[in-house]
Chains A and B, each alone.
Chain A
Amino acid sequence: MSSRARILQRLRDRTDGALVPPESDFSVMTGRGWGVQERLERFERLISSVHAEVIHTRQASWTETLAEVLTAKAVRRLALGHEHPVPAEARAALHEHEVDLVDANRDIEAWQREQFETVDAGLTSTGGAIAETGSLWLWPTPDEPRLTSLVPPLHIAVLDAETIEDTFFDVVEAHEWSQGMPTNALLISGPSKTADIEQTLAYGVHGPRELVVLIRHREEST
Chain B
Amino acid sequence: MSVQTYTPREFHRQAHDALGNPQIRANFRKAMDGLMSKRRDVFSDWDLDALRELGANIRQRALARLPELLEQLEANCQANGIRVHWAQDGDEACRIIRELCEARDAKSVIKGKSMVSEEMHLNTHLEGAGIEALESDLGEYLVQLNEQTPSHIIMPAIHLNTDEISEIMHDKTGTERTRDVDYMTAAARAQLRERFMAADVGISGVNFAVAETGTLCLVENEGNGRMTTTVPPVHIAVTGIEKVVEHLRDVPPLYALLTRSATGQHVTTYFNMISGPRKPDEHDGPEEVHLVLVDNGRSSIYQDDELLDTLRCIRCGACMNHCPVYTRVGGHTYGTTYPGPIGKILMPHMMGLAETRDLPSASSLCGACGEVCPVKIPIPDLLVRLRKESVGEGRGNVPGAGVKRHRSEVLAWKGFQWLATHPGVWRSAMAIAGKLRGWMPTRLGGWTDYRSTPKPAKTSLHALVKRHRREEGSS
Q: Footprint of B on A, CB under 8 Å? A: 2-4, 6-8, 10-12, 14-16, 19-29, 46, 50, 104-108, 112-113, 116, 132-135, 141-142, 145-147, 150, 167-169, 172-173, 177-178, 180-200, 202, 204-208
What's the nearest-Cβ distance from chain B to residue A47, in Å?
9
Expressed in whole angstroms, the Cα–Cα distance for A204 and B215 within the complex equals 27
What's the nearest-Cβ distance from chain A to residue B44, in Å?
14
Asked whether B222 lies within 8 Å of A193 as measured between CB atoms, the reply is yes
A-B contacts, 5 of them at CB < 8 A, read: A24-B58, A27-B50, A146-B226, A196-B138, A196-B155
Which listed residue (B227, B252, B302) contacts A167, Cβ 8 A?
B252
B284 cross-chain contacts in A, Cβ below 8 A: 107-108, 145-147
Expressed in whole angstroms, the Cα–Cα distance for A13 and B65 within the complex equals 13
A21 cross-chain contacts in B, Cβ below 8 A: 60-61, 64-65
A187 cross-chain contacts in B, Cβ below 8 A: 267, 270-271
Q: In the complex, which residue of chain A has the Cβ closest to the Cβ of B165?
A: A197
Stretch at the interface among B185-193, B330-338, B376-384, B403-411: B185-193
Which listed residue (A106, A145, A186, A197) contacts B138, Cβ 8 A?
A197
B412 cross-chain contacts in A, Cβ below 8 A: none
What's the nearest-Cβ distance from chain A to residue B4, in Å?
21
Q: In the complex, which residue of chain B has the Cβ closest to the Cβ of A207?
A: B223
Q: In the complex, which residue of chain A has the Cβ closest to the Cβ of B305?
A: A16
What's the nearest-Cβ distance from chain B to residue A123, in Å?
16
Asked whether A22 lies within 8 Å of B54 as measured between CB atoms, the reply is no
A26 cross-chain contacts in B, Cβ below 8 A: 54, 249, 253
A7-B241, A19-B64 known; A204 vs B157 contact (CB < 8 Å): no
Asked whether B267 lies within 8 Å of A189 as measured between CB atoms, the reply is yes
Asked whether A22 lies within 8 Å of B61 as measured between CB atoms, the reply is yes
Stretch at the interface among B84-92, B418-426, B448-456: B84-92
Main secondary structure of the interface of A (DSSP, over half): loop
A113 cross-chain contacts in B, Cβ below 8 A: 197
B 58-97 to A, binary, CB cutoff 8 A, 1 in contact else 0: 1011011111001100000000000000111000100000
Expressed in whole angstroms, the Cα–Cα distance for A108 and B282 within the complex equals 10
Asked whether A189 lies within 8 Å of B269 as measured between CB atoms, the reply is yes
A8 cross-chain contacts in B, Cβ below 8 A: 67, 70-71
Q: Footprint of A on B, CB under 8 Å? A: 27, 30-31, 34, 46-47, 50-51, 53-54, 57-58, 60-61, 63-67, 70-71, 86-88, 92, 136-139, 142, 155-158, 160-162, 165, 181-182, 184-186, 188-189, 192-193, 196-197, 212-215, 221-224, 226-227, 230-231, 241, 247-253, 255-256, 263, 266-279, 281-285, 293, 295, 299-300, 302-305, 308, 397
Asked whether A177 lies within 8 Å of B304 as measured between CB atoms, the reply is no
What's the nearest-Cβ distance from chain A to residue B222, in Å?
5
B293 cross-chain contacts in A, Cβ below 8 A: 7
Asked whether B230 lies within 8 Å of A204 as measured between CB atoms, the reply is no
Which listed residue (B88, B193, B255) contacts A116, Cβ 8 A?
B193
Asked whether B86 lies within 8 Å of A105 as measured between CB atoms, the reply is no
B57 cross-chain contacts in A, Cβ below 8 A: 22-25
Asked whether B182 lies within 8 Å of A134 as measured between CB atoms, the reply is no
Most chain A CB within a 10 A radius of its CB, from B227, B249, B267: B267
Asked whether A116 lies within 8 Å of B197 as measured between CB atoms, the reply is yes
What's the nearest-Cβ distance from chain A to residue B282, in Å?
5
A207 cross-chain contacts in B, Cβ below 8 A: 222-223, 226-227, 269-270
Asked whether B188 lies within 8 Å of A205 as measured between CB atoms, the reply is yes
What's the nearest-Cβ distance from chain A to residue B55, in Å?
10
Which listed residue (A27, A108, A112, A192) contacts B269, Cβ 8 A?
A192
A112 cross-chain contacts in B, Cβ below 8 A: 197, 231
Most chain B CB within a 10 A radius of its CB, from A107, A177, A192, A196: A196
A132 cross-chain contacts in B, Cβ below 8 A: 266
Most chain B CB within a 10 A radius of its CB, from A12, A16, A180: A16
Expressed in whole angstroms, the Cα–Cα distance for A20 and B39 within the complex equals 32
Further contacts, 18 of them, CB under 8 A, given A133-B267, A181-B248, A195-B221: A15-B397, A19-B64, A108-B283, A112-B231, A142-B281, A145-B283, A185-B273, A189-B267, A189-B270, A190-B269, A192-B221, A192-B223, A193-B221, A194-B222, A196-B142, A197-B162, A205-B223, A207-B226
Q: In the complex, which residue of chain A has the Cβ closest to the Cβ of B293?
A: A7
Expressed in whole angstroms, the Cα–Cα distance for A32 and B181 within the complex equals 39
What's the nearest-Cβ distance from chain A to residue B43, in Å?
12
A22-B64, A183-B279, A184-B285 known; A168 vs B185 contact (CB < 8 Å): no
A193-B221, A205-B188 known; A145 vs B270 contact (CB < 8 Å): no
B227 cross-chain contacts in A, Cβ below 8 A: 150, 206-207
Asked whether B266 lies within 8 Å of A46 as measured between CB atoms, the reply is yes
B270 cross-chain contacts in A, Cβ below 8 A: 186-189, 192, 207
A193-B221, A207-B269 known; A11 vs B66 contact (CB < 8 Å): yes
Asked whether B64 lies within 8 Å of A194 as measured between CB atoms, the reply is no
Asked whether A184 lies within 8 Å of B197 as measured between CB atoms, the reply is no
Asked whether A7 lies within 8 Å of B283 as measured between CB atoms, the reply is no
A186 cross-chain contacts in B, Cβ below 8 A: 226, 270-273
Q: In the complex, which residue of chain A has the Cβ closest to the Cβ of B217?
A: A185
